[in-house]
Structure 1
Amino acid sequence: MKKILWLACLSYLVIGIAHIIGGSILEQIVTHYEISYAQGGQWIMNQFFGFLVGVLLGPLLSTKLGKRLTVVLAFGSLTVAEAVYSLLPPWELMLVVAPFAGFGFGMIESVVGALIIDLYKDKKAAAMSRIETFFGLGALFIPLIAAVLIRYHIWEWSFPILTAISGVTLLLWLSLSFGKQIDNIISQPSKQENVQAPKLAKYERRAIPFLTLSMIFFFLYVGVEMSVSHYLPSIMIERSGLSESSAASMLSLFWVFMVIGRFVCGMLADRFGYIKYLLVSMLIAVLAFVGMVLLQEAWALYVMIALSGLGFSGVFGIGLVYVNACIQGLTDRTTSLLVACGGIGGALLPKLTGWLMDHYAVGVTVNYVAALVAVMLGFMIAMIFVGGNRNLQERGH
């Protein structure tokens, strides 16, 4: 079990890098190809469309091909796409290849996440928080690595580095053995699940309201997280008059505390329960973002940003585990839906945040983000009220 968990961690490290790498070197891409920022944004949007397709097709391909072959296919798509990027081909080809990169890391995120939730019966939260930690490490370190490459005028090496890491991970998924039982689970198409549990082939009517609330919650969560990742430095420069380097350190601080929180969130969730953990985390996040609205001193903002990172650190991973605990038997499909909703939120809400930054004072943007976090808390409370600690797929309860 440890071997497949560590390979899942490596897989999430790769997709953490893949998610962030485009934005880290977008300025250099725009300059190299002599294109506008809008055209650069189209490249990232094309990756997002591929991401959605990968996330939504993951459960179907897992059922037909088995999880191992599905993950190998996804890593193959990502590796080939990044290899093409490495050649810096004509811009039109970059746009054509982008959906294949997104398809790869989208499918990896949903299939590997669902696999870990299924395999770890007793310590799902600890296992999920472990792989989410590595996602955070990838997202934290690739901008720093890209900054070094840019400084030495070799930014184009960003793509070959990701190609190599992705290719090695692909080979590991192809070649490693995890023991006979796990090898059978991940290699065989999961058609037998439908034979063993025909009643769980679709969502029960009583699970639909809970699932709907969960989808909206994940839409908001990833949208807010991506808005913070995109615009936090700009907000801090305008709000507190910080230098560009100091403002950039605010974003690094946010991700550092996200990673620190993910190291311990699984242990805390397993010890105190998913509901208590998620409620306390969201209360901390609300406190932090309201603090950003009320306070303007630099030291206070540093504290609030650290708190926001801690509050948000385990919400995605533990939230996935909690929702799947309330809707048992459909892990692949549920995880895919929630990751897809998060992806849509991560694409749309930062656009609205950017529009507010362009047209209104920065205080309006801060109020908007804080309001979204408060709304998230409301949806979390509603989810807990509807879902509780029971399996909504069981009839007669």
Structure 2
Amino acid sequence: MKKETNRWVVLISSMGILLCTGIVYTFSVFAGPLAELRGWAVPDIMMAFAINSAVGPIPMIFGGYFTDRGWAKWIARIGVVLFGISFAFTGQATSIFQLYLIYGIFGGFAQNFAYSACLSNTIRFFPDKKGLASGLITGGMGGAAIIAAPIANTLIERYGVSQAFWRMGLAYALIGFFFSLFIRSAPKQAVPQTAVASEKAPAPAKTITANKNWKEMLASHAFYLLILMFAMGAFSGLMIASNASLIGQSMFGLSASAAAAYVSLYSLSNTSGRVFWGAISDRIGQIRAVIIIYSAIIFAFILLVSVNQVWAFAIGIVTLGLCFGGVMGVFPGLVMDKFGPANQGVNYGIVFIGFSSAAFVAPKVTASLAAANDGDFTKAFYVAIAVVLLGLGLSLVYAKRKTVAKLAAETV
């Protein structure tokens, strides 16, 4: 008899793998020492991070294709091991081109291979807790910097930046390989009651979502609403993530060390928000959670432009961090809820283009507006408010269409 799969073991193992690949978010810790070692400009070095983010949808779709066909364990294993190796060799790059190739392209492909497999596979085990599972998995990746950043600083001070890359990359490749041993592929449909060991099986869903492949998804109006909503929701979070320290110093008079503490607070809020909003969405529904999240983002930016006090900056940073985490934690379940679990890997990979587009645009727009206004981010905040207002409007349209569709189904 085939051994039953404990879904919590798969969840914890997936979190472990994404804790390893989440080291990508500590890249700013390495940028200064790497610039000093190689004589490169920091903005040129940070372009490697932008490339890493921009290539995301391609490996997510490709990895999702094989994950949807039962290869989750191998895709996760290949992804995390290759990411660790690419991170290790990043410190050996002797030209900007090599940095872009090793960290930007190879690292971006490997990281998102693992991300696609871990996320899309695991939430299939949790038809009753999609939001919580998604929040915990993405929270693992978002929270990696909290652990990795101090380790990276210590290694850089003791051994130099090249050795720090090498040691951390190889360590995470080995740790990630270990966690991959416990990954099991979920069925394409919701997990039946007999498939979950060591716990009470989840109650079957009240309604069955029709599975749609990527072609059918692209033919639906809902897809275009979702990809735009995802981009607009992520825009503000990415704006703050790339500029939190500068905003604190230039607009609220914080010292560099105090601003750095707020960056850590933002990261912690981002991580917590993925779990918090994921769990909330299981209770009130994903689209209702999205509407509340977008409303909270607007409130936070209005507070930042209206009150020039440190307490306002603190509340704004925490709120925006929680909401950015919420966007990342809720959207995987939202996509699965609409298009079914069978093709979640490919479908979410395509919708993820919305996030990657925002990741490429938001930091550039923010930096340009701040530079044109002597370091004042007020105009950038107004742009963010406009973007999120549009996202909120689209969310309300999506919610109304969903309600109409549900009523139509009940009358058949």
> TM-score under structure 1 normalisation?
0.85
Aligned residue number for residue 385 of structure 1: 400
Distance 1:48 1:270 in 2: 28
Q: Is the 8 A contact 2:13 2:182 kept in 1?
A: no
Aligned residue number for residue 129 of structure 2: 123
Distance 2:54 2:323 in 1: 29
Cα distance change of structure 1 residues 268 and 48 upon mapping to structure 2, 3 Å threshold: closer
Distance 2:218 2:96 in 1: 49
Aligned residue number for residue 243 of structure 1: 255
Q: Is the 8 A contact 1:26 1:40 kept in 2?
A: yes
Over the residues paired in the alignment, what is the CA RMSD in angstroms?
3.1
Q: Is the 8 A contact 1:116 1:124 kept in 2?
A: no
Cα distance change of structure 1 residues 332 and 205 upon mapping to structure 2, 3 Å threshold: closer
1:212 to 224, 227, 233: 224
Query: Would you say 1:166 and 2:176 are equivalent positions?
Result: no
Q: Give the counterpart letter for 1:130 in structure 2.
A: L
Q: Give the counterpart letter for 1:345 in structure 2.
A: A
Distance 1:89 1:205 in 2: 44
Task: Give 1:184 deviation, angstroms.
Answer: 8.0
1:36 to 37, 41, 54: 41
Task: Give 1:379 deviation, angstroms.
Answer: 2.5
After TM superposition, the structure 1 stretch with the greater mean CA deviation from structure 2, 302-311 or 63-72, is 63-72
Unaligned runs of 5+ in 1: 186-196
Q: Is the 8 A contact 1:56 1:340 kept in 2?
A: no
Query: Would you say 1:370 and 2:385 are equivalent positions?
Result: yes
Distance 1:102 1:354 in 2: 23
Distance 2:13 2:146 in 1: 19
Distance 2:116 2:283 in 1: 26
SS for the counterpart of 1:121 is coil
Q: Is the 8 A contact 2:20 2:175 kept in 1?
A: no
Q: Is the 8 A contact 1:117 1:331 kept in 2?
A: no
2:316 to 281, 287, 304: 304
Query: Would you say 1:356 and 2:369 are equivalent positions?
Result: yes
Aligned residue number for residue 143 of structure 2: 137
Q: Deviations over 1:108-154 (max 9, x none)?
A: 22222111222212111111111122122113343344344455563
Task: Give 1:214 deviation, angstroms.
Answer: 0.9
Q: Is the 8 A contact 2:124 2:186 kept in 1?
A: no
2:73 to 68, 72, 87: 68
Task: Give 1:58 deviation, angstroms.
Answer: 1.7
Aligned residue number for residue 58 of structure 2: 53
After TM superposition, the structure 1 stretch with the greater mean CA deviation from structure 2, 202-211 or 52-61, is 202-211
Q: Give the counterpart letter for 1:104 in structure 2.
A: A
- Map residues 66-105 of structure 1 onto 2, 5 A cutoff: 66-98=71-103, 99-105=105-111
Q: Is the 8 A contact 2:244 2:263 kept in 1?
A: yes
Distance 1:88 1:232 in 2: 29
Q: Is the 8 A contact 2:245 2:263 kept in 1?
A: yes
Query: Would you say 1:340 and 2:353 are equivalent positions?
Result: yes
After TM superposition, the structure 1 stretch with the greater mean CA deviation from structure 2, 42-51 or 32-41, is 42-51
> TM-score under structure 2 normalisation?
0.82
Task: Give 1:198 deviation, angstroms.
Answer: 11
Cα distance change of structure 1 residues 390 and 126 upon mapping to structure 2, 3 Å threshold: farther
Q: Is the 8 A contact 1:326 1:390 kept in 2?
A: no
Q: Deviations over 1:339-388 (max 9, x none)?
A: 23212211222111111111124321222223333333223222222334
Q: Deviations over 1:308-360 (max 9, x none)?
A: 22333322211220222012243122210122321221122211111111112
Aligned residue number for residue 339 of structure 2: 327
Which has more helix, going by share of residues? 1
- Map residues 220-239 of structure 1 onto 2, 5 A cutoff: 220-239=232-251
Task: Give 1:277 deviation, angstroms.
Answer: 2.4
Distance 2:156 2:95 in 1: 21
Q: Is the 8 A contact 1:113 1:335 kept in 2?
A: no
2:268 to 256, 267, 270: 256
Cα distance change of structure 1 residues 78 and 315 upon mapping to structure 2, 3 Å threshold: same
Distance 2:307 2:290 in 1: 25
Percent sequence identity over aligned pairs: 17
